[in-house]
Amino acid sequence: MVQYYCPYCNPKYQFQKQSSNGTLICGLCGEELIKKPFIRLNQIIALVAASSLLLPLIYTFIFLIKNQINPPNKNYQANSNLMIIIKETLS
């Protein structure tokens, strides 16, 4: 449903009338109604601002839960088979 509004009248008291040429006009002041956009610029800016604050928090919680379920391997020593293969390729 496309919504129209009068930029001059209070939104509480607006009602639509159709003029003789088929355009919608305000019932109070007689001004032509303007189509209300589906997504406004301030809604896009608010969505970007909210996501910039929430996405790092969500990202942190996902990795926190992932590390609780599958803890990282704490054996930081190199595998001896891998060391032998590396030495053979370098020689």
- Token duo for residue 77: 């020593």
* Residue 1 binned pLDDT confidence (cut-offs 50, 70, 90): very low
* pLDDT at position 61: 92
Q: For CA atoms 52, 54, 56, 59, give the dihedral sign.
A: negative
pLDDT in tens, 38-66: 888 999 999 999 999 999 999 999 989 98
Domain range summary for the chain, segments of one domain joined by +: 4-35, 39-91
**Does pTM top 0.75 for this prediction?**
no
Rounded CA gap, 66 and 84, in Å? 33
Rounded CA gap, 43 and 54, in Å? 16
Question: Euclidean distance between the first and final Cα of the chain, in Å?
Answer: 75
